[in-house]
Amino acid sequence: MKQFLLMSRPKQILTLLVVSVGMVISINTLQAQSDTLSPGLREKFQQFLRNFDGSVYLDAYYTFTLNDPEGDTSNLKEFAANCPFADEFRLNVASLWLEYNSKNIRGKLLVQFGDVPNLRSTPEEQFIKYMREAHFGFRVYKNYWVDIGYLPNPVGYESSYPIRNQISTVTVGGYFETGNFLGVEISGQLTPSLFAGIYVGNQYTLAYGKNKRIYGGMTLKYNYRDIFSVNYNNMLGNASIVTSEQNHFYLYNNLILTVKPVINLWLVGEVDFGVYGNSKKPPDTTSIASGISGFLQATYRFTKWFATSVRGEYLSDPDGSVTPLYAYDGKLRGLLTYGGTVGVEFNPVRNSYLRAEYSYLSADKDNNVFNSMLSDHRHSITFTAGLRFGTFR
């Protein structure tokens, strides 16, 4: 497993904070100065300022494991897309972002700090870890847009930002899903119920390193009156990083179903299935490998300030196409995990949450991938608290 790194380069962090706060202050200052303009110019200028949205999001957590074996000296939780440290209070993420949305132009800049940016980051990619998104777009026709820059791809229901999820912690399958790309996306609302998009670019993420090979994909989402939705996403291309001497062509498929059968009940199901060329485990490394992951989740909101969720998850990557290879019983095998999580959420004020979650994860017998490679299962309890200021899109 790739290790988490402690935050570094305090000057860079300070610079990003100053820039982000400065942008928000500048907008407020310009708003005040607009009163000195003529009525016509003032209205145009105020409309321009109304197109900006500034937001701040903070999340802190505490996690402790219930089955620490003797000799476990690490407080890192394996395969944790967020809340990665145990037995201490931590800052999951602090985000500042600025958005601009007008009839024909839009853009977004989002910077982040805390444990989430350090997720699987390698030393050579440290410079970009504080950048979550940086892109701009143009409306080309009616509801059709072209967006360019450092964009999140559409794969996956879960986010490493707990506020986007009903359960703060992310599944093991979500941990291994791909992240952002540098490129271009064309998307649009084909009908009131159907959204579609295509994208092409270079995979360039902390999780997978730099990839100069171009890849592409598509997204389709059908939403029926917010009662039922189906979302299909895929990725097709060469997954080889810059230093790889062998091409690894792949086709990755992601299917998400959401259903609201009765008021206050949400059901979610997701399946990820991929095939990868030249990726099978030794000795036949030139054959095709495959892997599958997914989860089922239910959330019921009893009142506007209290909800509970339950989730079951599964991941099988026998050839180690996206996960590490482990040796046990004299054989090599990629990761196999399954488990469940149950959690409760309390919302003391608007745009806030307090959550408590119990999770159980298990791997192949004698795989021993948890608790400093000393256990093949993990029991943990996680508490998260989050608050957002401003809009959140």
Between CA 336 and CA 379 the distance in angstroms is 17
Contact predicate 67/370, CB 8 Å: no
Between CA 130 and CA 110 the distance in angstroms is 9
Contact predicate 109/30, CB 8 Å: no
141 Cβ contact partners less than 8 Å away, ≥ 6 residues apart: 188
Handedness of CA 156, 174, 295, 248 (dihedral sign): positive
* Burial 308-324, CB ≥16 within 10 A → b, else e: ebebebbbbbbbbbbbe
pLDDT of residue 331: 79
Find the Cα–Cα–Cα–Cα dihedral 177, 179, 184, 187, rounded to 10°. 60
Tens digits of pLDDT across the chain (393 residues) = 333 333 334 455 455 555 555 555 555 555 555 556 667 676 776 777 788 888 999 999 999 988 887 777 788 899 999 999 999 999 999 999 899 999 999 999 999 999 998 876 665 666 678 889 999 999 999 999 999 999 988 999 999 999 999 999 999 999 998 878 889 999 999 999 999 999 998 876 554 555 667 889 999 999 999 899 999 999 998 877 666 667 778 899 999 999 999 999 999 999 999 998 877 777 777 788 899 999 999 999 999 999 999 999 999 999 888 888 887 777 788 899 999 999 999 999 989 999 999 999 999 877 788 887 888 899 999 999 999 988 644
Contact predicate 204/230, CB 8 Å: no
- Tokens linked to 110: 């989002």
Return the beta strands (E) in the chain as ranges: 52-65, 89-101, 105-113, 131-141, 144-152, 180-189, 194-205, 209-224, 228-238, 249-259, 265-276, 289-303, 306-316, 326-328, 331-333, 336-346, 352-363, 377-390
Contact predicate 295/271, CB 8 Å: no
pLDDT of residue 242: 65
- Tokens linked to 304: 């506007």
82 Cβ contact partners less than 8 Å away, ≥ 6 residues apart: 61, 92, 93, 115, 116, 119, 160, 161, 162, 168, 169, 170
Domains and CATH numbers, the chain: 11-50 (no CATH), 51-390 (2.40.160.10)
* Burial 275-295, CB ≥16 within 10 A → b, else e: ebbbbbbeeeeeeebbbebbb
pLDDT of residue 1: 34
Q: Among 159, 164, 177, which Cα is nearest to 293's?
A: 177
Question: How many CA atoms lie within 13 Å of 21's alpha carbon, on the beta-carbon side?
Answer: 7
In the numeric block, the tokens 């500048």 are attached to 26
Phi-psi region of 390 (alpha: psi -120 to 50; beta: other; left: phi over 0): left
pTM: 0.86
Query: DSSP readout, 219-242?
Result: EEEEEETTTEEEEEEEEEEE---T
